[in-house]
Amino acid sequence: MSTNIQDILADEAESLLSYRCSGIPRERLHVPGPDFVDRIVSQSDRNPRVMRNLQSLFSHGRLGGTGYMSLLPVDQGVEHSAGASFAPNPDFFDPQHIIELAIEGGCNGVASTLGVLGSVARRYAHRIPFIVKLNHNELLSYPNQYDQTLFAQVDQAFDLGAVAVGATVYFGSEESRRQIMEVSEAFARAHELGLVCVLWAYLRNSAFKHEGTDYHTAADLTGQANHLAATIEADIIKQKQALGNGGYTALDFGKTHPKVYDELTSEHPIDLVRYQVANCYMGRVGMINSGGPSGKDDLHQAVRTAVINKRAGGMGLISGRKAFQKPVAEGVKLLNAIQDVYLSDEVTIA
């Protein structure tokens, strides 16, 4: 049974489903599609092994063959603690249940830690594409720090049968230059081995919260984070969906241009996310948005995020806590609802 997208969007349905971008029109984008690897990736310097593994991600799950992705990420046990992450559904302390949720939920792939994926690799690596997250922040150290530490090596991901590696850079942080160097080196090695590279391109700096507004999700700042991610040859960029704009101007730092705010974007959420996509080389690098924490309105928020991502020209959604911090049947329903947005002919690119 397909998801009734209009009913879930409720009062926002017309605004989100009928809007047309004019600042950066659809025609300027390299949009996702069944031929994305042939049409776009084949122009790049990626070797045939990377292209094959990227195609295996595109070909798996309910969205197989569409050019869109629905991924299940379960790496939160490292930073947010296993207790905080899995106490709502203790079965997920066992990696087997993580993989089975991704399979039953129809995902293109599953992203998790070296330990999680390595513990069940012989049973599942041939059944669903694995993405090994290489670095993590962890909050057991006291006092807490906010940095990314390598927990795994690229060759370990290759050896356990992964098709891709993932990593986070905290752009804007004091540690970002070191992280960029570490991840760039890791991605170069991953591409040598034929692995797809996924970058969690997150902002982190306390100064980005200014006069009561959090600019960590500003379109201009996250757009630049995407541009930096594409610079180190990420194949897929994971980004928080833009919720505002004007980070550069409010914080009075960095460099920007009036046209970013006057012509290329508006206050409409699809325009804000379109600017994020534009910074991914106009879609040559696929952008997936994250699903965010679990709450009381998960289905609505997940569908809304997916609609905005797809209409803006994005490549999909990566949703973890909204799916695994609830009974399995509800988690599967939520993942399927996200996928229904990308399968729907009624949800077009704005």
* % helix, strand, coil for the chain, step of 5: 50, 15, 35
Retrieve residue 229's tokens: 């991610």
Q: Which helix (H) or strand (E) segment is 99 a member of?
A: helix 95-104
Residues near 96 by Cβ (< 8 Å), separated by ≥ 6?
120, 123, 124
* Euclidean distance between CA atoms 55 and 130, whole angstroms: 13
Measured CA to CA, the distance from residue 200 to residue 288 in angstroms comes to 10
Asked whether the CA dihedral 182, 183, 189, 190 is positive or negative, the reply is: positive
Question: Which amino acid, one-letter code, is at 274?
Answer: R
Whether residue 297 contacts residue 43, with contact meaning beta carbons closer than 8 Å, is answered with no
Contact yes or no for 128/99 (Cβ under 8 A): yes
How many angstroms separate the CA atoms of 81 and 148, rounded? 15
* 260 neighbors 288 (Cβ within 8 angstroms): no
Q: Report the Cα 48 to chain-centroid distance in Å.
A: 24
Residue 276 CB partners (closer than 8 Å, separation 6+): 219, 222, 223, 226, 239, 241, 242, 287, 312, 314
Comparing CA positions, the residue from 31, 27, 29 lying closest to residue 282 is 29
Q: Rounded to whole angstroms, how far apart are CA atoms 39 and 34?
A: 9
Residues with a catalytic annotation lie at: 238
In terms of residues, how long is the chain?
Answer: 350
First to last CA, the chain: 26
130 and 163 Cβ atoms separated by less than 8 Å:
yes
